[in-house]
Amino acid sequence: MIFDTHAHYDDRAFDADREELLQTVKAAGVGLILDPGCDAKSSRAAIALAERFDFVYAAVGIHPEELAGWDEDALGEIRALAEHPRCLAIGEVGLDYYWDDSRKEEQKLLFRWQCELALELDKPVIVHDREAHGDCLAVVRDYPRLRGVFHCYSGSAEMAKELLGRGWYLGFDGPVTYKNARKTLEVLEICPADRMLIETDSPYLSPVPMRGKRNDSRNLRYVIGKIAELRGLSPEEVERVTEENGRRLFGL
Ligand code: NI
């Protein structure tokens, strides 16, 4: 079965057809989905979805783009939700200097608080790193026992080697099918098979040939196809190995 380890089915882009779509996605061979929250409200929604669908699990956290929603109440709620039995990880959390690099210190503080929560609860972390590679690496270096995935990995091969050496997993998404994917494909070539995860980031990041449309987990077949081609594996092997990896990292 396919394990989509990063899909935001709580997003309002799915309001019109969420239930039906999830059934369709499951019938198409996607047997496991992990839905990460981006703030307290969407983390709550992710948990609610995970309670309703037996093949959906949640992660909870405050995304760096949601800095405005960060206060004591929100952190308290994330902590409480993180202990829910359907919550497998802390995420999506991290640093994003692409949209706003004016509050770097605040972003780092929020990221660190959530890394420490993950350690305290012994859960992996789902890291969002956009244009913040050096600082993300610096934070995770400070927590050598921390494990998780760098979601939609976009750093260098050199940084990937360090993360892999530290026990991290790398997430590959629709962009591996894009024309400008050279750097990510280099990383995909050196990533050990037992450390790669496949993700959609639905409703975003649709792979070619669905680019520009709303994404859903069925489109992982294009990401699987690209990995299979690049690594000389069959699509079935890519599907099997990434499912095993996801189960191992998230404790399923
Ligand atoms: Ni995401």
User: What's the number of CA atoms in the CB half-sphere (13 Å) around residue 118?
Assistant: 31
Residue 127 alpha carbon to ligand 1 centre in Å? 9
Residue 231 alpha carbon to ligand 1 centre in Å? 25
Residue 36 alpha carbon to ligand 1 centre in Å? 7
pLDDT per residue of the chain (252 residues) written in tens, 0 to 9: 999 999 999 999 999 999 999 999 999 999 999 999 999 999 999 999 999 999 999 999 999 999 887 888 899 999 999 999 999 999 999 999 998 888 999 999 999 999 999 999 999 999 999 999 999 999 999 999 999 999 999 999 999 999 999 999 999 999 999 999 999 999 999 999 999 999 999 999 999 999 999 999 999 999 999 999 999 999 999 999 999 999 999 999
Listed in sequence order, the residues at least 6 apart from 183 whose beta carbon sits closer than 8 Å to its beta carbon are 154, 156, 157
Residue 193 alpha carbon to ligand 1 centre in Å? 22
Residue 158 alpha carbon to ligand 1 centre in Å? 24
Residue 236 alpha carbon to ligand 1 centre in Å? 25
Residue 31 alpha carbon to ligand 1 centre in Å? 19
Residue 111 alpha carbon to ligand 1 centre in Å? 15
The model's pTM is 0.97
Q: Closest Cα to residue 172, out of 46, 38, 5?
A: 5
CA distances from 180 to 174, 190, 203, 227, 230 (A): 12, 18, 21, 16, 15
Residue 237 alpha carbon to ligand 1 centre in Å? 25
Residue 96 alpha carbon to ligand 1 centre in Å? 12
pLDDT at 71: 84
